[in-house]
């Protein structure tokens, strides 16, 4: 019987969480979208199931409706704890969707109180005295303050969440966490007795995550980034690395984050690359799609083993240029990648690195992927995957959140496939 269940608000977040559970020896499946009833038996063999939804930036009402469907599936699977997974940088607007989703899951699980743990120290996300840091910078002074979809205006997690929920939000600071799981449990219960429904818990290192996970092991609902999964009780199982599926290699980068910009710049030194022309997508989407496909196939004909990269943003000036060409530049790019990905697969692409949460969702949906098998960890939050496609050959994938991954990821990841 499946014990742990999670609902992730985008596809990269789902694989990020699943990779952390896998690192603890848990057999984990990632399902893209709410699974049908006839697919549940195959999921019951796993220790954990992550349902990946593409709901981070949709209307709150739509997000909540999908989350309620997913919660019903996790109940059917017998999950004793639901993990509400959102981005470790708390990506959202004052309207949501983190708050509305968590509120719905409080109702669905019957939880009296739920912890809020966005910290993921291995990836440079820490929470100290209630404030979220990205590296050494408070969230609102990091690159996230200029995020094109969800610019972050405060670093205090309780303030960000309070703008999105009618429920009271409390905090447990690191001095309590360092006293151990019993102290954390006592502090959470005390906050709940005072009327809080959410408790933001500090985490500045991996030991803190293990303490919080122990303190909340019996809670019906926990919320946070993927870091809390690293505190799960480990199984002594050596994970098996995924084998590479023979074929062509391609990078599809849609993220505008600074981390992805650096990865694009690094990869341009070693592989053929082409920046997307947003104006061309506005004027002639179908024609530009064909031109890009022809260009990639021609590069493969010159060197079949060399990866090829398409990207939307190579530096900060490209962000402004894209917005100038169209206020809907990001939607155009997602549409393009959704249409182009299956055509690239038909042309021989079997190993794809995809950068950006929305881009990863679009590519996965375009490829018709239903379930992901989680493989070897490349860096915190980034793993190789095997995508099971409907009525088409499987593919290897990396679905990378924009902010994650080493600078040489696009060049070095291929070497890690068995």
Cα separation values, 223 from 199, 200, 218, 227, 236, Å: 10, 10, 14, 11, 26
Same domain, 280 and 191: no
Cα 291 to its chain centre, rounded Å, is 30
CATH of the domain at 316: 3.40.980.20
End of a domain among 182, 201, 231? 231
Cα–Cα distance for residue pair 358/255, rounded to 1 Å: 8
Helix (H, G, I), strand (E, B) or coil at 250: strand
**Which residues on adjacent β-strands are paired with residue 275?**
311
End of a domain among 182, 198, 231? 231
Is-contact 406 361, C-beta < 8 A? no
Cα separation values, 16 from 109, 256, 337, 379, Å: 23, 19, 21, 10
What secondary structure letter does DSSP report for 296?
H
Residue 148, pLDDT score: 62
Same domain, 224 and 257: no
Same domain, 172 and 318: no
- Per-residue DSSP letters for 223-240? EESSGGGGGSPP----PP
Cα–Cα distance for residue pair 153/91, rounded to 1 Å: 11
End of a domain among 166, 201, 231? 231
- Per-residue DSSP letters for 117-174? E--BGGGTEEEETTEEEETTEEGGGSGGGG-SSS----SBHHHHHHTT-SSEEEEE-H
Residue 142, pLDDT score: 82
Same domain, 222 and 332: no
- From first to last of its 418 residues, the chain has per-residue pLDDT tens of 567 999 999 898 999 999 999 999 988 889 999 998 878 888 998 899 999 999 988 999 999 999 999 999 999 999 999 999 999 888 888 888 999 999 999 999 999 999 999 999 999 999 999 999 999 998 888 877 776 666 777 899 999 999 999 999 999 999 999 999 999 999 999 999 999 999 999 999 999 999 999 999 999 999 999 999 999 988 877 678 899 999 999 999 999 888 999 999 999 999 999 999 999 999 999 999 999 999 999 999 999 999 999 999 887 676 665 655 676 888 999 999 999 999 999 999 999 999 998 899 899 999 999 999 899 999 988 999 999 998 899 999 999 988 889 999 999 999 999 6
Residue 92, pLDDT score: 83
Same domain, 169 and 119: yes
Same domain, 227 and 317: no
Residue 376 within any structural domain of the chain: yes
Domain with 86, as residue range(s), is 4-231
Residue 403, pLDDT score: 86
- Per-residue DSSP letters for 359-398? HHHHHHHHHTEEEEEEEEEEETTEEEEEEEETTS--EEEE
Same domain, 199 and 266: no
Main-chain dihedrals φ then ψ at residue 96, nearest 5 degrees: 140, -175
Same domain, 201 and 80: yes
Same domain, 279 and 145: no
Residue 400, pLDDT score: 93
Cα–Cα distance for residue pair 198/105, rounded to 1 Å: 12
12 sits in which H/E element: helix 11-23
Same domain, 215 and 288: no
Question: How many structural domains comprise the chain?
Answer: 2
Residue 241 within any structural domain of the chain: no
Main-chain dihedrals φ then ψ at residue 402, nearest 5 degrees: -55, -35
Residue 322, pLDDT score: 60
Q: CA gyration radius for the chain?
A: 21
Residue 240 within any structural domain of the chain: no
CATH of the domain at 97: 3.40.50.10840
Residue 238 within any structural domain of the chain: no
Residue 239 within any structural domain of the chain: no
Residue with tokens 């996970």: 213
- Which of 138, 204, 141, 219 is closest to 172 using CA atoms? 204
Q: ω into residue 207 within 30 of 0, thus cis? A: no
Query: ∠ at Cα 68 (61, 1), nearest 5°?
Result: 160
Residue 39, pLDDT score: 80
Residue 380 within any structural domain of the chain: yes
Residue 79 within any structural domain of the chain: yes
- Which of 342, 390, 334 is closest to 366 using CA atoms? 342
Residue 325, pLDDT score: 62
Is-contact 333 281, C-beta < 8 A? yes
Same domain, 193 and 269: no
Same domain, 66 and 112: yes
């Amino acid at each position: 019987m499946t014990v742990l269940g999670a609902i992730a608000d985008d596809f990269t977040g789902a694989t990020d969480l699943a990779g952390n559970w896998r690192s603890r020896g848990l057999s984990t499946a990632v399902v893209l979208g709410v699974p049908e009833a006839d697919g549940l038996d195959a999921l019951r063999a796993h220790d954990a199931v992550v349902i990946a939804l593409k709901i981070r930036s949709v209307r709150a009402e739509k997000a909540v409706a999908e989350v309620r469907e997913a919660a019903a599936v996790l109940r059917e699977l017998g999950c004793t704890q639901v993990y509400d997974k959102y981005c470790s940088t708390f990506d959202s607007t004052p309207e949501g969707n983190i708050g509305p989703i968590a509120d719905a899951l409080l109702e669905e699980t019957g939880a009296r109180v739920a912890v809020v743990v966005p910290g993921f120290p291995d990836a440079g996300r820490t929470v100290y005295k209630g404030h979220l840091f990205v590296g050494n910078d408070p969230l609102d002074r990091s690159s996230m303050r200029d995020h094109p979809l969800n610019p972050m205006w405060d670093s205090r997690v309780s303030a960000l969440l309070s703008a999105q929920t009618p429920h009271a939000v409390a905090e447990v600071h690191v001095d309590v966490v360092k006293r151990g799981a019993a102290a954390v449990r006592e502090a959470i219960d005390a906050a709940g007795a005072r009327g809080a429904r959410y408790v933001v818990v500090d985490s500045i290192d991996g030991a803190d995550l293990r303490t919080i996970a122990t303190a909340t092991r019996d809670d019906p609902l926990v919320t946070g980034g993927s870091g809390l999964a690293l505190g799960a009780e480990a199984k002594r199982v050596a994970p098996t690395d995924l084998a590479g599926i023979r074929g062509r290699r391609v990078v599809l980068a849609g993220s505008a984050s600074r981390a992805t910009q650096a990865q694009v710049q690094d990869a341009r030194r070693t592989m053929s690359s082409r920046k997307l022309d947003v104006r061309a997508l506005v004027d002639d989407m179908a024609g530009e799609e064909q031109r890009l496909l022809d260009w990639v196939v021609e590069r493969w004909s010159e060197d079949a083993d060399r990866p090829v990269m398409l990207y939307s943003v190579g530096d900060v000036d490209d962000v402004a240029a894209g917005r100038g060409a169209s206020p809907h530049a990001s939607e155009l790019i997602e549409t393009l990648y959704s249409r182009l990905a299956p055509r690239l697969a038909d042309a021989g692409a079997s190993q794809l690195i995809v950068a950006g949460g929305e881009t990863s969702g679009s590519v996965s949906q375009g490829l018709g992927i239903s379930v992901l098998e989680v493989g070897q960890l490349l860096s915190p939050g980034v793993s190789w995957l095997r995508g099971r496609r409907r009525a088409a050959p499987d593919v290897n994938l990396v679905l990378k959140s924009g902010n994650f991954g080493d600078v040489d990821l696009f060049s070095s990841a291929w070497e890690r496939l068995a």
